[in-house]
Chain A
Amino acid sequence: MLRLLSLELQKLLLNRTSKILIFISFILPFFVILLSSLKINVFGFFTLELGELGVFNFPIIWHLTTFFASQFKFFFAIVVVSMIGNEYSNKTIKQNLIDGLSKKEFILSKFYTIVFFSLISTVLICLISLCIGLYYSSYTEFSIVLKGTEFLVAYFVKLMGFFSLCLFFGMLAKRSAFALAFLFILFIIEWIVFGLLAWQFNANVAEKTQNFFPLKSMYKLIDQPFQRIAMSKFPDKSNLVYDYAAHGYEMIIVLCWTGLFIFLSYRLLKKRDL
């Protein structure tokens, strides 16, 4: 396993473009979160301090930081897609197999890399949230800090699922640009199907079905936190209850997709003549 991971890391880290993209996808979100936690004086008119709004309170901070950080996953998605695209365009995938790598090992080395970077990202976001939280939060009791850490698990599952989808599209299209286009097409298709279902049946059925689609199920893991923050300001408006939690069954859906995408990538490679 370490052999496969070190293989892939060597391929990635010696490539300048992917090094920059990895750097952006990991450092940028933390930088943004860190910056937003500072007191910002807007041209001397007023001071903007998000911490004052209570967004950095435990447990809501877990939700907020993971939601924001996951928006930056697209940069690493480019890396995932191009690491497949490059293997095809350089024909090194062929050479790797000839040199004695099995097709299973090839897919696994990519998958381990995805897990590895998802894990690093999760650990980083955990550390930074903890630091900011401990600094700003009104409540720092251990039990409250731990509450909401399921968002970290959700974040990890979400990244892994999304990158596995990218891996599959990369294998399918063989070219980075087409794979990213596929991603966009899938996004549109999901909404078209949603629209059709809503038209044929009703919005409720459509939404429930849509929650099983790959992109939507990944998005659903960490819902947008704005309503929750707004809600925390108006505790009496109970009619606006919105299900924002990271549920176990949502993770299972995404994990199923992850497994399926990895399996399909393997099948595709096994069937293909290079």
Chain B
Amino acid sequence: MNSILTINNLTKKFGYLTAVKDLSFTINKGNVYGILGPNGSGKSTTLGIVLNVVNKTSGSFKWFDGNVSTHDALKKVGAIIERPNFYPYMTATQNLKLVCKIKGVDYAKIDEKLEIVGLLDRKDSTFKTYSLGMKQRLAIASALLNDPEILILDEPTNGLDPQGIHQIREIIKQIATKGTTILLASHLLDEVEKVCSHVIVLRKGVKLYSGRVDEMISSHGFFELKSNQNEKLIELLHNHPSFDKVVVTPDLITAFLKEPMKSEDFNSFLFDKNIILTHLVQRKESLEEQFLQLTDNQ
């Protein structure tokens, strides 16, 4: 698989504070990656380093095959960091022309990309007249100008209203379906869960996990149960070899699986034991639950 970005033992210290500690991971072509972590976990610092705006303390990173300088590699990358940064007195078109000059891209791309983010009818308004949502969409248009090999988004929905968030996510999904590699940093777990196939979890600058989203913790899911004979059911669950832990709340029994089990098999097993279920749901932990487990365990 083609690697786009390789990070090896990257460390960044701000004085006594270590923002990123000995971080290594690889971004491969064609996947959608999420960098997940609470505020201050080193997501933005890591992106800042690979984007040439923050100096690393030690370690190394390389773009593509490592034969191009960082600033030349960045011409093939599209990136948005935190807030959209443009010249307030220039119109959208003028701002994008400037980016074209920097990246060495043809001006013809400008209208095409403004169309994608739905700003074509406002292209001659100055940037300062834009709403935050429009600014963020302009930033995405700007990042797409060079048809990038990888799109890096740092908290792209930060501070947006629900419509704005929805619009940005739709655009991201649209881009992802075209096969563009995406690296999305966020502390919003459902955001990552909705769009990402791979995830890198950071806490206090240390990597806790990297890999596929669905393999984040080795879990076989759990059943949520209600029945007419709760005491008998709980006793049965405790003695059943497939179950690890049973959590009982007044209105719900949650049984965590140790090994795979189908819900129909479980249901017929209980039926044989004369327990009738009034409620049966089998599901896996959401990313949020997995994430909290992961960050609590270590």
| Known contacts A90-B88, A95-B85, A103-B52, then 4 further A-B pairs from the complex at CB < 8 Å, ordered by chain A residue | A14-B87, A15-B89, A92-B87, A99-B102
Whether the pair B81, A94 counts as a contact (CB closer than 8 A) is yes
Q: Which of B55, B74, B75, B79 contacts A273 (CB 8 A)?
A: B55
State whether the Cβ of B160 lies closer than 8 Å to any Cβ in chain A: no
Enumerate chain A residues within 8 angstroms of B79, measured Cβ to Cβ: 98-99
Assess the B74–A99 pair: CB atoms within 8 A: yes
> Which of B91-99, B164-172, B202-210, B274-282 lies on the face that meets chain A?
B91-99
Judged by a CB distance under 8 angstroms, whether A203 is at the interface is no
Nearest CB to that of A95 among chain B residues? B85
When distances are taken between beta carbons in the complex, the residues of chain A under 8 Å from B88 are 90
Q: Which residues of B contact A (CB under 8 A)?
A: 14, 48, 51-55, 69, 71-72, 74-75, 77, 79, 81, 83, 85-90, 94, 97-99, 101-103, 142
Tell me the smallest distance from the CB of B279 to a CB of chain A, in Å: 51
Contact B87 A3 (CB under 8 A): no
Assuming the contacts A10-B97, A11-B98, asked whether A98 and B75 have C-beta atoms less than 8 A apart, the reply is no
Residue from the list A6, A100, A103 in contact with B103, Cβ < 8 A: A100
Closest residue to A101 on the B side, CB-wise? B102
List A contacts of B98 (CB < 8 A).
7, 10-11
Given A7-B98, A98-B79, A100-B103, is A92 in contact with B53 using a C-beta cutoff of 8 Å? no
- What B residues does A86 contact at CB under 8 A? 87
Report 25 cross-chain contacts, Cβ distance below 8 Å, ordered by A residue.
A3-B101, A6-B101, A7-B102, A10-B94, A15-B89, A90-B85, A90-B86, A91-B83, A92-B85, A92-B86, A94-B53, A94-B85, A97-B71, A98-B51, A99-B74, A99-B142, A100-B71, A100-B102, A100-B103, A101-B71, A101-B102, A102-B69, A103-B52, A270-B55, A273-B14
Distance in Å from the Cβ of B276 to the closest Cβ of chain A? Answer: 61
On chain A, the number of residues with a Cβ less than 8 Å from chain B's Cβ atoms is: 28
A-B contact count (CB 8 A): 78
Query: Does A16 count as interface, using CB distance less than 8 angstroms?
Result: yes
A3 cross-chain contacts in B, Cβ below 8 A: 101
A91→B85 contact, CB < 8 A = yes
Tell whether, in the assembled complex, residue A14 and residue B54 are in contact, meaning their CB atoms are under 8 Å apart. Answer: no
Which 3 pairs between the two chains have the least Cβ-Cβ distance?
Answer: A100-B75, A102-B71, A95-B85
Residues of B within 8 A of A270 (CB): 55
A36: chain B residues at CB < 8 Å are none
User: Which among A6, A99, A105 has the highest number of chain B CB atoms within 10 Å?
Assistant: A99
Whether A273 lies near B52 (C-beta < 8 A) is no
Measured between beta carbons, the chain B residues less than 8 angstroms from A138 are: none
| A274 interface hit (Cβ, 8 Å) | yes
**A237 on interface, CB distance cutoff 8 Å:** no
Interface residues of A (CB under 8 A from B): 3, 6-7, 10-11, 14-16, 86, 90-92, 94-103, 105, 270-274
What residues of B have a CB within 8 angstroms of the CB of A90 in the complex?
Answer: 85-88
A94 to B81, CA, bound (A): 9
CB-based contact A273/B71 at 8 Å? no
State the CA gap A172–B89 with chains docked (Å).
24
Residues of A within 8 A of B51 (CB): 97-98
Best-buried of A92, A97, A100 by chain B (most CB within 10 Å): A100
Q: Which B residues are CB-close (under 8 A) to A271?
A: 55
Query: Residue on A with the closest CB to B73?
Result: A100
Whole-angstrom distance between the alpha carbons of A97 and B89 in the complex? 20
Query: Within the assembled complex, what's the spacing in Å between the Cα atoms of A274 and B55?
Result: 9
Please give the distance in Å from A61's CB to the nearest CB on chain B: 40
What is the minimal beta-carbon distance from B284 to any residue of chain A, in angstroms? 37
Cα–Cα, bound, A274→B86 (Å):
16
Which one, B74, B85, B94, contacts A100 given CB within 8 A? B74
Residues from chain B with Cβ under 8 Å of A16 in the complex: 89
Contact at A97–B53, with CB atoms within 8 Å?
yes
Given contacts A7-B102, A10-B98, contact A97 B86 (CB under 8 A): no
- Complex formed: what's the CA distance from A216 to B18 in Å? 45
Taking a contact as CB atoms under 8 Å apart, the answer to whether A14 and B86 are in contact is no
Closest to A17 in B: B89
Chain A residues whose CB sits within 8 angstroms of the CB of B86 once the complex forms: 90, 92, 95
Q: Is the CB–CB distance between A100 and B72 below 8 Å?
A: yes
A166 to B88, CA, bound (A): 23
Q: Roughly how many angstroms separate A7 CA and B103 CA in the complex, as a whole number? A: 11
Closest A residue to B75 by CB, please name it.
Answer: A100
